[in-house]
Amino acid sequence: MWAIQILSNSNETFAAVDLGSNSFHMIVANVVDGRALIVDRIKEMVRLAGGLDEHLQLSDEAMETALQCLEKFAQRIKNIPAANIRAVGTNALRQARNGVEFLARANVALGHNIEIISGREEARLVYLGVANTMFNDKDKRLVIDIGGGSTELIIGKGFDTDLTESLFMGCVNISQQFFKDGEITAKRCRKARIAALQELENIQDLYRDYGWDKVIGTSGSIRAILDVVIAHGWHESLITAGSLAEFRKELIAIGHINKIKFEEISSNRIPILVGGVVILSAVFEALKIESMDFSDGALREGLLYDQIGRQHDLDIRDKTVDRLMNRYSVDNDHATGVENITRHIFKNVKSEWQLEKKEDLKMIRWAARLHGVGLAIAHSQYHKHGAYLLSNSDMPGFSRHEQNLLSILVRLHRRKITLESFEQVTEEIKNKLVKLTIILRLAIILSRSRKSTTKPTVDVKINKRKIELTFQEGWLEEHPLTEADLETEANYLSVTDYKLSFN
């Protein structure tokens, strides 16, 4: 059991669900007297990546197996507050063309929304899991995670990452591509290794030049490899280049997956073992690694601690927003002014519009701070440029879904409101986004002048779809441009069926 100090004395329960390409994992932790203790772990071999056909469609069988697993998980987390649960999907769901269909059913089965995270976000969370399991703030560490559909490589120190990469090669897809019929030969192993080396080719120089002090492996595949290495006496405690060479020789001598009889490995992992050994061998070769230690911490642990941080004001997403503002030279004073008015309007409308104080307020605050990022490209159509940047940037802590919502808000913060922007979200999310868009647009209009002394005192009243702004006497007459902007905005809002009035 392991633990880390949390900046809180509350007693809470948290859960993290990892829908991996090979296995689904769930962990549950209690935060008691400021410490997080893992109290439950559940793992099931689902092989979601194995259910992808040549058209990247998940098979009905694969989906049913996954849904049955999620229904079991749901029983364990049903009494945990939704805000303390986070569930994510990785490479197989990033690829699946019918992933939206599956997610709709999966959300119901789990009783909680599942997010799809990017490869680099997956890498960041893997590193966070290792950092919390084997904390070390002195050494620069290279962390390697071999999953079913992707391999993550991260260099970091302490809790911070310096380089993150997710490569499209995993123990499932490599095994299916080169060892589908089960036959293991030297020629096939060489072809598979070369394919893996090709994936590594673009990053190997960057990683070797950056350097590291220690190498740590994580994931079920690397754990299985280490267990066999130790059991066969190829090394007493570590995975080395020499022990991997011995492993490959042994597999080639066995000749077929059905003949592998390693007692240290479960029968479920045998079909993908060769793919894992080949990938790890290629990583050792490309990065010139001599030896590697192992950590039990991985994506689900990182996910758990990231969620605990979100609930205790240690949200990595806030740092990400600040970094983007610095990168694109956003006017911080103006952004802060817009954010403050956004908070004021949100406070007045949240009850009537049934908005969530925590996540909805965070989303609208981030949009307020980032609405001007597109100015770094051009002033003309800068709201569109900003939306593009937010859709396509690496944003640690944000899921693909969250980036999409943020992009929509920035896209619609000025000019006409295009309803087509909401086509890719559900009706429920659309209704919420429209409300957040209105709040943001009004805050920006009321911050038209960048001088803080001219910000108005405004009372906001909501009656269903009617929004009424009341200003201090004489303020609008003294600010005719703002009054004109509000008149234009009333016309823009008509497409949303919301009505704006002001006096």
Q: What is the pLDDT of residues 41-75, one digit of tens each?
A: 999 999 999 999 999 999 999 999 999 999 999 99
Q: What is the pLDDT of residue 450?
A: 56
Check if the beta carbon of residue 469 is closer than 8 Å to that of residue 502.
yes
Q: What is the pLDDT of residue 454?
A: 57
* pLDDT at residue 24 is higher than 60: yes
When pLDDT is averaged across residues 208-232 and rounded to a whole number, the result is 96
pLDDT in tens, 433-480: 999 999 999 999 998 765 555 567 899 999 989 999 999 999 999 889
Using CA atoms, how far apart are residues 208 and 289, in angstroms rounded to an integer? 10
As a whole number of Å, the end-to-end CA separation of the chain is 62
Q: Please state which of the ranges 193-207, 369-383, 440-454 shows the lowest mean pLDDT.
A: 440-454
Q: Are strands 466-471 and 114-116 parallel, antiparallel or unpaired?
A: unpaired
- One-letter amino acid identity for 213? D
Q: What is the pLDDT of residue 137?
A: 85
Q: What is the pLDDT of residue 34?
A: 64
- One-letter amino acid identity for 237? S
* pLDDT at residue 2 is higher than 70: no
When pLDDT is averaged across residues 109-129 and rounded to a whole number, the result is 96
Domain extents in the chain: 3-117+301-308, 135-294, 315-455
**What CATH number labels 315-455?**
1.10.3210.10
Q: What is the pLDDT of residue 140?
A: 96
Query: 194 CB contacts (<8 Å, ≥6 apart)?
Result: none
In sign, the C-alpha dihedral spanning 244, 245, 246, 251 is positive
Using CA atoms, how far apart are residues 199 and 118, in angstroms rounded to an integer? 17
Superfamily of domain 3-117+301-308: ATPase, nucleotide binding domain (3.30.420.40)
Q: What is the pLDDT of residue 5?
A: 47
When pLDDT is averaged across residues 104-128 and rounded to a whole number, the result is 96
CB atoms within 10 A of CB 362: 17
Query: 426 CB contacts (<8 Å, ≥6 apart)?
Result: none
Q: What is the pLDDT of residue 36?
A: 80
Instruction: Give the confidence band of 17 by pLDDT, cuts at 50, 70, 90.
Output: very high
* pLDDT at residue 4 is higher than 90: no
When pLDDT is averaged across residues 338-358 and rounded to a whole number, the result is 94
Q: Is 135-294 in the same CATH topology as 3-117+301-308?
A: yes
Buried b (16+ CB within 10 A) or exposed e, 195-223: bbbebbeeebeebeeeebeebbbbbbbbb
Using CA atoms, how far apart are residues 338 and 331, in angstroms rounded to an integer? 11
Under CATH, what is the fold of the domain 135-294? Answer: Nucleotidyltransferase; domain 5 (3.30.420)
When pLDDT is averaged across residues 106-134 and rounded to a whole number, the result is 95
The pLDDT > 70 percentage for the chain reads 96
Mean pLDDT value across the chain: 93
